[in-house]
Each structure stands twice: as structure tokens, then as C-alpha cells.
Structure 1
Amino acid sequence: MSDTSLFSPLAMGSLQLANRIVMAPLTRNRAPGAVPTPLMATYYSQRATAGLLITEATPISHQGQGYADVPGLYAPEQMAGWRQVTDAVHAAGGKIVTQLWHVGRVSHTSLQPNQGAPVAPSAVRANTKTVLIVDGVPTFVDTSEPRALALDELPGIVGDYRRAALAAIEAGFDGVEIHAANGYLLDQFLKTGSNQRTDAYGGSVENRARLLLQVVQAVTDAIGSGRTGIRLSPVTPANDVVDADPQPLFDYVVRQLAPLGLAYLHLIEGATGGPRELADRPFDYVALRTAYRSAGGQGAWMVNNGYDLALAQQALADGADLVAFGKSFIANPDLVARLRQGGPFNKPDRNTFYGGGAAGYTDYPALPV
């Protein structure tokens, strides 16, 4: 047991964090044309008292995009927009990393280059929805039928992650988080429900983890392991992804990640945005952390899913290093101060989660100074 406080500092990889409160990545669909805006700079800088801000998921390429009006990291105008964000956060004393994203099959032909099919490990359509802007309104629509990536395309995917990581550092980010969770491309390769390949990237646990590990190696080689984190979600049903036996799969993954010296591992416990424990998908997160530590992993262990102050403090006492908060940060730009005094907390307006302008984005009130 540990008596570490949620408000105590932490040395994490190459970063010094003021506290152990993390703003989780939150897709908000407020970047028309995939270009970050000045309003986004305001939004993130308002929340800069968090020990670490993780941006909304950010596509590494046009092919990697799956939702309308999400910011990218593959064009000069996007990097310029992100520079406004990172400058504003740093001016407010914060630390910020960007989440590198390839959605894989969770996309729509209208969002793909030349109206092509989304790509995936296998041609298995996801029974889920994505967001398009229809007549100016964010609208949920079914994802499109994907095509399986050819073996000779995979080095290009790895290269896109590497290039995006370098672009992130050039845009002023303090580091990156590789999104390997929630049923997106790297998670699709990991899990049996979406990976039906029979080549070196399918079948065995080692084969299904191959692309993820190649991406992590490429990113850490490019920008340094101390500025690289990764997000995993062993059992979430998000975006219609499932694995027949997730415990040995993820035990293997974290053991392979351990010697790479990552800054942190970000674990979604249970269902993303849902129950923390799933009766039909039991998983031992303590055993997972033990597997990582026993293999020499020194990175910070970040937990995520439905945490409040009491649960967060218990998680730290039980061995976690960081706690990520999602919806709480949407409605409470000064969440750190509110947690410190035990509230009160603004309630988020679900109607303004996706798309729109300042309403429900930058206009939530802060506590009186």
C-alpha cells in the first residue's frame, strides 16, 4: 500500500508532472477540415492544471481518419494549428502529449482518400458507427466495409506512426501516446475477433502483437522512449472488438513493452465509458501490472474508467501511478482544484460532446478565485 497523494508530483519518463491527474483523450469533433483551431487552444489551456493533458485522438494519416472534424497530424496547416495549442498549454504551465490514431476499419468511405474502403487486418466489418457531418450536424452512421491490408502495406503504416511522432514533437508536444485501444487499428490486429490473418501478423499471440510492437519500436527510436506512452484496453467491447483469451495476449504485450522504457502505460479497465468489470469478460489487471513489472517495466501505470476522488486515491494506494479522468474534465476545466476541495462539480452536457463551437466546450464555469 502507498500513501501517495493524487496531488503529489511525479517524474514520468522525460517529463516532470505537477500531479497525478491526467486529462484523458476526448474526441470533440471541433476541427473543421481536420485543422486544430484557436478555440481548441483555449479548451486545452483551460485544463492545463492537470499533471498531463492527452489530446483527443489524432489521425496519423488521411487513411487513419474515421470521424469528421477530428484534428490530424499529417499536413503543415495541422501542425501550425497544434502549435497554437501546445504554446497555449505551456504558457499556462501544463504538459501535453498527443494521441496517435489510426482507426482502421472504424471509418467511412467518405472520409477516406479517393473515397476508398477503410483498411483493417481482415475484411471484417465493424458493427459500430462513426460520425459524419450531415447538413452541418454531427450524425452517427454505420461504418463502411473494410479491405484487408496487404503484407507490403504494413511497413508504410509503421512509417506513418513514426512520421507523426516526429511531427508531434515539431509541433511542440511533450510526447505522444500510441492509441492501441478501443477497437482501432492496432487493437484490431491484437484481437481474434477482428484479425483472421494467416500470415506473420495473424494467428498466434506473437503474430497478432507484431504490428503494435513494430510501431512502438519505430516511435521510440524516433523521439525517445521517455516521451512515448501507449493506451491499451484488454476487454472493452468498444467498436465491436473482442479477443477469445485476452489475459495471455495482454500479459505477453506488456512483457514485450517492458524493456522498451516507455514513459507510461494507459489502461482502460472494463468497458470504455461503461462498467469497470464485465461478467462475460473477466480480466485481472493486477496480474497484468505484475507481468509488466516482473519483466522490468518501469513506466508509470495509468488507470482509466469512471474514477472519482475516492476511487483514484484507492488506485494510487494499490500501486497505480496516474489516474485519467474523462467526462469530468469536459465540464470542469479546473478539475484539479475541484478534486482538491471535494467539489462542487459541473455536470457535462451530452448534447454538446460532439461538434459545435464554444457552447459546452470552453464555457463551463471555473471556481471563483
Structure 2
Amino acid sequence: MSQIFTPVHIGRYELPNRLVMAPMTRSRANDDDGVPTDIVATYYSQRAGAGLIISEGVYPTATGKGHVRTPGIETDAQVDAWKRVTDAVHARGARIFMQLMHCGRISHPSLLPANAQPVAPSAIKPAGQTWTASGQQEFVTPHELSVAEIADVVAGYRAATRRALEAGFDGVELHAASGYLPEQFLSSGSNKREDQYGGPIENRARFILEVLTAMVKEAGGDRVGIKISPEMNYNDISDVNPQATYWHLVEQLNAFNLAYLHVALFGTPFDYHALLKPRFNGAYLMGGGLDRAKAEAALKKGQADAAVFGSAFLANPDLPARLRNGATLNAPDRETFFSAGEKGYIDYASLDAAEPA
């Protein structure tokens, strides 16, 4: 029997299969107010065959926005729009978590209220660019957060968790990968602080643990997950000893009784799954370049509890049916990953018989 299509317990939920749709930025919100457009509900409901959907990254507060046309969860209008999304997904019997994504220094003043400076643990300018309404712009030197400002950011995550639940989400995921704010605090290359948030790993992990504490207070641990991606090195992030860093972090996570740990690996030769899964007590979600064969092998060997698929779900709204039936997969159109409108978003073809036997 295929392991992919067996039930799995993740947090408080019993899911019908072990296929998870990865969080993927798609840039289909209104850029002026961060409200998801009407086609967002269609997009997610089309993919409701997943055992669990994890939404695209959603900024908890406007100061956490990092890319053009990304959505928020701070205002009533944003909550109302997301409620239409969760209603559409739930109508098809699926579960959906919201990924909370504070980009920190990976932003630009033109994306932020009153052209504010992006924030970070340390005032270190990252190399690279981000997409704004006027095209790609170089990153700038960020504002180093004070201890009081860090507390405000943590409170923003808590409020965003509450808003996500009000919008009907089944849970929330902390985005602690891809070089965004939580990973900026965690990593020695971007965190040069000399207070309780910097220096040894016990201090650099403090921000993530405080954010998780706040999220768990709102949702309960069994409705909170976290995503990490060791040595992805995206957005100019680096760490002097990543294996020790992530070993320490994951061991601290067990105190929260989280729904899951989502580990996506890209380009590192080191097997972090073998290092981290034995140290985490909850459901372990494996992601990063999986196909059916790789996912089946990992599940059968007990290396993961669920398999996370990204671009395959993007291009195949009925991915579970295609995998079950051995059907050919649509190829993703990379030119439309972050464009506006329906093309490359809700117009991918489905199989005629999408419902598996």
C-alpha cells in the first residue's frame, strides 16, 4: 500500500493523506492593502486534495512585508478575505495552516509604512534585491531592533495568530527559514548583538522561542508548526556552525508540543533529516525537491511523517489524484510564479477524473 495515501495525525488533526502543500509566495494580493484577491480562494480550494495546505507567507504586521503584492493578516479587511479562502478550503474537506512570515531586513522602504527602514537583529545590509512595485530594488541597511521593539514584534506575531484563527485557519506555521527575521536572529552571520538576543546559540535562539511562546498561547501547541531550512543560505544568511545551531533549536521545540516540524533542505550535502527527526517529538514534515518515489521511500523508512510538495502542487491542482493514478504532471510556468492575475495561478489543467477511487 502507498504510504502517501494513509492517514496521519498532525497536531490535533487526523489528515486523510500525507501530502502537504508547501507554502509558496504567489504575489496575488492587492499591493496597497495586503488583501488577498478573489482568485486566492479559488487557488487554494483547487488544491484541497492535500492532507494539509500551508499558505503562502503572510506578514503578521505591515512592517514585516518584504515583497510586492504579498498578503497580510493585520486588518479586518485582510481577515475577511482570508475567511473566504478558509471557507472554500473547508468546503472541500481540507485543512489549512497560515504561514506567518516577517521578512525583517529582506525588504525595502518602499514596501513599508511611511517608507520605514526594514528591521533586523543587527544593522547589517544583506546582499541582493527584492521585488517592489517599481521592480527590483537593492536591500538597504536595516534598523537594529531594540529590546523593547523586539517585544513589539513578538506581540505582533501573537496578534497575527489570533487573527489567523479568526479567519478560520486550522493552525499557523512560523516561517523560520529563507533568511527572514527569525532566521536572522538565529544565524551568527546576521546577528552580531551583544545582549540577551545575540552571541551564543542559547541567546540567538531566544527570539524564535519567544515568538513560539506567543503563538502557542493563542493557538495551543497542537495548532502551531515551524519551518526551518538549514544551510539553504537564501537571502544572504549564514551561520558559523549550522549543525550545532539547529540541533539546539530543535531540542528546545519539544517543550511546546508543536503540531509539526517542517524541514526543507535545498543544496546541503549534510543529512539534517537524520540529525533532527530523532530529536523532535511531534510530526516531522520533509520538504525540498521531492517526487513520489522519494516521498514514498522516506515515509516507508520512517524518515518523515508527511511529504511536502511545492511547485508540483503549484502546477497540478489535483496532485494527489495524479500521483495515485500515475498520471503525467503539468510543468510549472516559472514566468508566472510572482505575476498578477489568473495566468499560471488558477488555470492549470486538472485530470478529467480527479477523484481517486
* TM-score, normalised relative to structure 1: 0.93
In structure 2, the residue matched to 1:109 is 109
**8 Å contact 2:322–2:328 — kept in the other structure?**
yes
Partner of 1:285, secondary structure, is helix
- The one-letter amino acid of 2:330's match is N
Q: Report the 3-state secondary structure (helix = DSSP H, G, I; strand = E; otherwise coil) of the residue aligned with 1:248.
A: helix
Give the unaligned 5+ runs of structure 1: none
Whole-Å separation in 2 of the counterparts to 1:237 and 1:219: 26
Pick one of 279, 290, 304 that aligns with 1:307: 290
Residue 250 (1) aligns with residue 246 (2): yes
Tell me how far 1:142 sits from its aligned partner.
Answer: 1.8
Specify the SS of the correspondent of 2:63.
coil
CA positional deviation for 1:284: 3.5
Identify the match of residue 30 of structure 1 among 6, 15, 28: 28
Q: What is the deviation of 1:328?
A: 0.5
* Alignment length (residue pairs): 350
**1 CA distance for matches of 2:175 and 2:119?**
16
The answer to whether the aligner puts 1:79 opposite 2:79 as a matched pair is yes
1:218-251 superposed Cα distances (whole Å, 9 cap, x missing partner): 1111111110000011111110101100111111
Contact 1:48 1:93 (C-alpha < 8 Å) held by counterparts: yes
The alignment status of 1:152 with 2:148, answered yes or no, reads yes
Shift of 1:318: 2.6
| 1:63 alignment partner, SS class | helix
Paired residue for 1:360, among 328, 344, 350?
344
TM-score between both structures, scaled by the size of structure 2:
0.96
Q: The residue matched to 2:98 in structure 1 has which SS?
A: strand
CA contact (8 A) 2:174 2:226 kept: yes
Q: Which amino acid aligns with 1:80?
A: D
Structure 1 residue 343: Cα displacement = 2.1
Whole-Å separation in 2 of the counterparts to 1:357 and 1:113? 25
CA deviations on 1:258-283 (whole Å, 9 max, x unpaired) are: 121000000011x3xxx3x34xxx35
Matches within 5 A, 1:1-369: 5-32=3-30, 33=32, 34-134=34-134, 139-269=135-265, 271=266, 275=267, 277-278=268-269, 282-292=270-280, 297=281, 299-319=282-302, 320-369=304-353
Runs of 4+ in 1 over 2 A off after TM superposition: 282-285
Q: Distance in 1 between matches of 2:218 and 2:28?
A: 29
Aligned-pair CA distance for 1:144: 2.1
Tell me, which stretches of 5 or more residues in structure 2 are unaligned? none
Aligned partners of 1:47, 1:113: CA distance in 2, in Å?
33
Once the two structures are aligned, what percentage of the paired residues are identical?
A: 45
SS in 1 for 2:114: helix
- Residue identity matched to 2:75: A
Once the two structures are TM-superposed, the CA of residue 94 in structure 1 deviates from its matched residue by 1.0
Asked if the contact 1:331/1:347 (under 8 Å) is kept, the reply is yes
Greater shift in the superposed pair: 47-56 or 145-154: 145-154
Secondary structure of 1:239 counterpart? coil
Contact 1:235 1:283 (8 Å CA) reproduced = no
Kept in 1, the 8 Å contact 2:230–2:272? The answer is no
Deviations 1:275-311 (A, max 9, x none): 3x34xxx35431222222xxxx2x1100110000000
Q: Please give the alpha-carbon distance, in whole angstroms, between the structure 2 residues aligned to 1:342 and 1:130.
A: 38
Greater displacement, 125-134 / 318-327 = 125-134
**Residues 144-198 of structure 1, C-alpha deviations (whole Å, 9 max, x = no match):** 2211101111111110010000000000000000111110000000000100001
The 1-side partners of 2:220 and 2:279 are apart by 23
**Distance in 1, Cα, partners of 2:327 & 2:129:** 35
Equivalent residue letter for 1:356: A
SS at match of 2:252: helix
The letter for the 1-side match of 2:287 is N
The more displaced of 56-65 and 316-325 is: 316-325
Q: Which amino acid aligns with 1:110?
A: S
User: Match of 2:255, as an amino acid?
Assistant: P
State the shift of 1:314 in Å.
1.0
Alpha-carbon distance in structure 1 between the residues aligned to 2:28 and 2:132: 12
CA distance in 1, matches of 2:140, 2:55: 26
Give the C-alpha shift of residue 11 in structure 1. Answer: 1.5
Shift of 1:4: 6.7
- Give the RMSD, CA atoms, in angstroms: 1.1
